[in-house]
Amino acid sequence: MELELTDEQRLVQKTAADFARAEVLPKAAEIDQKHRHPKELVARMAELGLLGIAVPEQYGGAGFDTLSYVLAMEEISRACASTGVIMSVNNSLVCDPLVKFGTEAQKQKWLVPLASGKKLGCFALSEPEAGSDAAAQKTIARLVGDEWVINGVKNWITNGPVADVCILFTMNDPAKGHKGITAFILPMDHAGVRCGPADKKLGIRGSQSCQIFLDDVRLSKEHLLGEVGGGFKVAMSTLDGGRIGIASQALGIARAALEDATAYACERRTFGKPIAQHQAIQFKLADMATEIDAARLLTWRAATLKDQGARHTAESSMAKVFASEVANRAAKEAVQIFGGNGYVEDFPVERHFRDAKITEIYEGTSEIQRLVIAASLLKE
Ligand code: CAA
């Protein structure tokens, strides 16, 4: 793995960092406090090519690699984790499976507008009774004549209330378990599709999520993504990439915690000197910085493997579980360094503390990541 970034990767990183600092960061607190979908920032991300970073240019994307995507995700999430996850879902969970499993006609019809940011996507795998146990799907798809008729409920669908297109997972044959799962491309304005109210969340409050109700939704065969019964593999291999995106989001949150805490520690004085001069604070900052670097190396390794076309299931889970736990430790220590000021909305670290938590939950909990890693150790 090259640790030196290419000129192209540095350019993507700088573009994202400049945008994040100038346009995203000044709005992050307001977006959080108002639980507001940052529509204008999504439009700007589309202009900058950040919504389909690793999608080939012929399909509307920016044509960069996964490592470039990771670099950009860290910068955007450093400024605003809500904006980061909107970007991550569109790139990893929507564009990526269309690149990998879509037909040429589907790529032209759906991928081009999604990768260029003219449309926004969501990914509907989870259900009220199927979160970690993704194969326990109940949303049913029955073939009636030439059409698939779909009924069911999807839960916690990030981008759901604002999405134009959904990568939808259904059960076409419950007797077959995970081999009976089928994926579809669903336009969100299709008859029978209804979003519930936006979830009221602890953190990433600018990221809208909701339930999606599917009542006799009729889709033609052109909407099938991959093979009938092949949906579980579409979901799992997509999440292999998605977990790299969430690791990068966690890195961004962790870095925000470290940078904010370092700046505060240099200003805040106790016992006659800045608190940064006390070893108790220095040890915290040193541990945060070391862990963030380690998390970044794991994330870059997973991204590099993906770019090389190698299987990266365990490495993505390692990056995600480690980076998300680093983000939570860093945010907790940042609140401690801020003391009373860390507990109030006037300063950003209480937001980092709330935003960090979700990275240990979505796209597979920390417990699921450990199961995936263990499975790779134990297989023959
Ligand atoms: N790539 C390709 N195929 C894979 C795979 C992968 N990464 N992982 C598993 N498979 C295949 C297996 O090879 C197996 O295939 P065969 O039957 O042909 O051998 C099949 O899938 C079943 O594998 P398992 O027996 O391992 O499946 P399982 O039912 O035990 O589940 C699990 C495994 C890892 C627990 C999985 O259910 C899982 O990842 N759960 C978490 C779900 C999750 O991450 N949900 C997130 C929702 S999306 C979200 O959060 C988005 C958002 O809001 C931002």
| Domain co-membership, 256 together with 367 | yes
Neighbours of 86 (CB within 10 A): 29
| Domain co-membership, 25 together with 155 | no
Is residue 208 situated within a structural domain?
Answer: yes
Radius of gyration in angstroms for the set of CA atoms belonging to the chain, rounded to a whole number: 21
Residue of the nearest CA to atom 46 in ligand 1? Answer: 363
| Domain co-membership, 206 together with 293 | no
Continuous H helices in the chain:
7-19, 25-34, 39-48, 66-79, 81-88, 96-101, 104-106, 112-115, 231-267, 279-307, 313-338, 349-358, 366-378
State the pLDDT at residue 167.
98
pTM of the complete model beyond 0.75: yes
- Strand 165-171, strand 121-124: pairing: parallel
Is residue 285 situated within a structural domain?
Answer: yes
Is residue 334 situated within a structural domain?
Answer: yes
* Residues contacting residue 192 through CB under 8 Å, at least 6 positions apart: 150, 214, 215, 216, 217, 218
Annotated catalytic sites, by residue?
Answer: 363
| Domain co-membership, 345 together with 249 | yes
Is residue 83 situated within a structural domain?
Answer: yes
| Domain co-membership, 208 together with 251 | no
Residue 322, ligand 1, Cβ within 6 A:
no
Residue 158, ligand 1, Cβ within 6 A:
yes
CA distance 330 to 258: 7
CA distance 59 to 47: 15
Q: Which atom of ligand 1 is nearest to the CA of 232?
A: 21
State the pLDDT at residue 189.
98
Tell me the CA–centroid distance for residue 60 and ligand 1, in Å. 29
| Domain co-membership, 12 together with 87 | yes
Residue of the nearest CA to atom 8 in ligand 1? Answer: 236
Residue 257, ligand 1, Cβ within 6 A:
no
- Ligand 1 pocket: which of 82, 207, 233 to mutate (most atoms <8 Å of CB)? 233
Picking from 70, 92, 120, the residue at the C-terminal end of a domain is 120
| Domain co-membership, 62 together with 116 | yes
Kindly give the confidence (pLDDT) of every residue in the chain, 380 residues in length, as a single tens digit, with 9 standing for 90 and above: 778 999 999 999 999 999 999 999 999 999 999 999 999 999 999 999 999 999 999 999 999 999 999 999 999 999 999 999 999 999 999 999 999 999 999 999 999 999 999 999 999 999 999 999 999 999 999 999 999 999 999 999 999 999 999 999 999 999 999 999 999 999 999 999 999 999 999 999 999 999 999 999 999 999 999 999 999 999 999 999 999 999 999 999 999 999 999 999 999 999 999 999 999 999 999 999 999 999 999 999 999 999 999 999 999 999 999 999 999 999 999 999 999 999 999 999 999 999 999 999 999 999 999 999 999 999 86
Is residue 366 situated within a structural domain?
Answer: yes
C-beta separation of 276 from 269 below 8 A? no
Q: Phi, psi at residue 306, to the nearest 5°?
A: -60, -45
CATH number at residue 135: 2.40.110.10
Using alpha carbons, select from 122, 11, 111, 12 the residue that is nearest to residue 58: 111
CATH number at residue 363: 1.20.140.10
Picking from 229, 260, 275, the residue at the C-terminal end of a domain is 229
Is residue 1 situated within a structural domain?
Answer: no
Residue 132, ligand 1, Cβ within 6 A:
yes
| Domain co-membership, 116 together with 159 | no
Tell me the CA–centroid distance for residue 81 and ligand 1, in Å. 25
Is residue 2 situated within a structural domain?
Answer: no
Residue of the nearest CA to atom 18 in ligand 1? Answer: 179
Report the number of distinct structural domains present in the chain.
3
Is residue 259 situated within a structural domain?
Answer: yes
Picking from 188, 207, 229, the residue at the C-terminal end of a domain is 229
Neighbours of 374 (CB within 10 A): 12
Residue 94, ligand 1, Cβ within 6 A:
no
CATH number at residue 46: 1.10.540.10
Tell me the CA–centroid distance for residue 262 and ligand 1, in Å. 39
Residue 169, ligand 1, Cβ within 6 A:
no
As given in the structure block, the two tokens for residue 257 are 């915690």
| Domain co-membership, 161 together with 78 | no
| Domain co-membership, 369 together with 247 | yes
SS3 call for 209: strand
DSSP string, 16-60: HHHHIIIIIHHHHHHHHHHT---HHHHHHHHHHTTTSTTS-GGGT
Residue 313, ligand 1, Cβ within 6 A:
yes
| Domain co-membership, 31 together with 114 | yes
Task: Please give the residue range of the domain that contains residue 221.
Answer: 122-229
C-beta separation of 155 from 146 below 8 A? no
CA distance 157 to 257: 27
